[in-house]
Structure 1
Amino acid sequence: MSETTTLLYMQVMIWVIVLGLCAVLVMMVRRVRGFYRRIAPLGALAPSGSAIDHLPATTLPTLAGQKVTLGGTRADGGSQLLVFVSGACPVSRKMVPIVDEFARREGLALTYCGDETKDMALPMLATLGLAASRFVNDAAIGRLLGVDRVPFAVLLDEQGRVQARGLVNNLEHLESLLGVQETGYRSLQGFMTAHPQALAG
């Protein structure tokens, strides 16, 4: 067998391998799409317990002693974001700057809430890097809204109606809350159930 023939055979084998890899890649993409359709991320993980769907105007003091109104009809016509955090939660510490930037970018009125003991409230502010004027410490508000874990976010519309709520561990979870207003679906699973063809092809 000549050297030219050997090189030709080797080139043919290389092309066969490349085409085989391409076929495997196409199959993998199709399988991943099907897998993603089945386990599509929930976005913010909503609580299973009972919770109110409308928060009437509730005036509470911040840790700085100022009064802030949560829920109810907003004069500015904007949405309100309540984020429940804890100084003992490392994820809460990670999320505070992310939440701040998200609320600023989306034009949301942001208030942090929690259920700390009196002795822990002020040290918690230092841990989270929050000003006392931005934090409401009240256990009742969390129970009303079905908060069972932190960090937990509740998005209220301009009338105080709960648009979306759930556990938020990253920016994508926060953005999924706004998706409710845009699509009317509270989770990606709900959207995929109504539109099974969305990831087809």
Structure 2
Amino acid sequence: MNTLILAQGALWIVVLLTATVALLLLKQVKNLYRKIAPLGALAPVQPTTTKLELYHLKTLDGQDATIGGQRPNGRKQLLLFVSGTCPISQKMTSVSQHFCQRENLDLLFVGDDTPQAQQEAVHSLGIKSHQMVNTATVGRQLGVDRVPFAVLLAPDGTVESRGLVNNREHLESLLSVAETGHSSIQSFLDAHPHALSSS
């Protein structure tokens, strides 16, 4: 009987020690997140323009679509440059649609490939043909060299923010960076070199 009591007591001590260690680890992780600022969408290549003129384009199903310029509805436009062969693009199509619906943004997917490849991309990305345009010109102007790449345009076509994205947090960073008056996270960090320093 004494052996059983001792064994049970030892087990409870082990459980309490494990719980204590877990709480200490959780506290350390929280401190680490406070010290490390979240990195936003990266924009490795500089655009050739900071304001996009109006482009009249056709979606993959032949409907009229516009990029840049003065938007009649007064809403911001999010351009998401994607590829049907990119697995991250496939993830970001659904994420961006929910994000734009929540933030009241006009979303347009942009690709740069052959018409046949773009039709295949529509199926692999899980989007509709009227949601996507095929153009290389806009991507070159906006400094898009990799995908998925997002560009947030103001209602007058001004580039508010831009960068590579692979999760919802990156999309949200486009909005927050734009609010600071910077077009990318790099621009913000250049102006605030100690933003990533521990507090």
Q: Shorter-chain TM-score: what band?
A: 0.7 to 0.9
Measured after TM superposition, the shift of residue 35 of structure 1 is 5.5
Measured after TM superposition, the shift of residue 171 of structure 1 is 0.2
Cα distance change, pair 197–100 in 1 and its aligned pair in 2 (3 A): closer
Task: Answer yes or no: is the 8 Å Cα contact 1:116–1:137 preserved in 2.
Answer: yes
Note if 1:139 corresponds to 2:136: yes
Task: Answer yes or no: is the 8 Å Cα contact 1:33–1:199 preserved in 2.
Answer: no
TM-score scaled by structure 1?
A: 0.77
Note if 1:177 corresponds to 2:174: yes
Tell me the residue number matched to 2:90. Answer: 93
Note if 1:128 corresponds to 2:129: no
Secondary structure at 2:192 match in 1? helix
Quote the Cα distance in structure 1 between the aligned partners of 2:38 and 2:133. 31
Note if 1:48 corresponds to 2:45: yes
Cα distance change, pair 134–31 in 1 and its aligned pair in 2 (3 A): closer
Q: Which amino acid aligns with 2:173?
A: S
TM-score scaled by structure 2?
A: 0.78
Computing the radius of gyration from Cα coordinates, the structure with the larger value is 1
Task: Answer yes or no: is the 8 Å Cα contact 2:45–2:145 preserved in 1.
Answer: no
Note if 1:79 corresponds to 2:79: no
The number of residues matched between the two structures is: 183
Tell me the residue number matched to 2:8. Answer: none
Quote the Cα distance in structure 2 between the aligned partners of 1:65 and 1:153. 23
Percent identity over the alignment? 46
Secondary structure at 1:169 match in 2? coil
Flag structure 2 segments of 5+ consecutive residues without an equivalent. 1-16
Tell me the residue number matched to 2:152. Answer: 155
Q: Which amino acid aligns with 1:109?
A: D
Secondary structure at 1:97 match in 2? helix
Quote the Cα distance in structure 2 between the aligned partners of 1:128 and 1:58. 24
Quote the Cα distance in structure 1 between the aligned partners of 2:77 and 2:190. 24
Note if 1:115 corresponds to 2:112: yes
Tell me the residue number matched to 2:10. Answer: none
Deviations 1:34-66 (A, max 9, x none): 862xxx343011123443111011101111111
Q: Which amino acid aligns with 1:55?
A: L
Quote the Cα distance in structure 1 between the aligned partners of 2:32 and 2:90. 33
Quote the Cα distance in structure 2 between the aligned partners of 1:41 and 1:177. 13
Tell me the residue number matched to 2:192. Answer: 193
Quote the Cα distance in structure 2 between the aligned partners of 1:128 and 1:79. 23
Deviations 1:8-32 (A, max 9, x none): xxxxxxxxx9xxx8xx87x957973
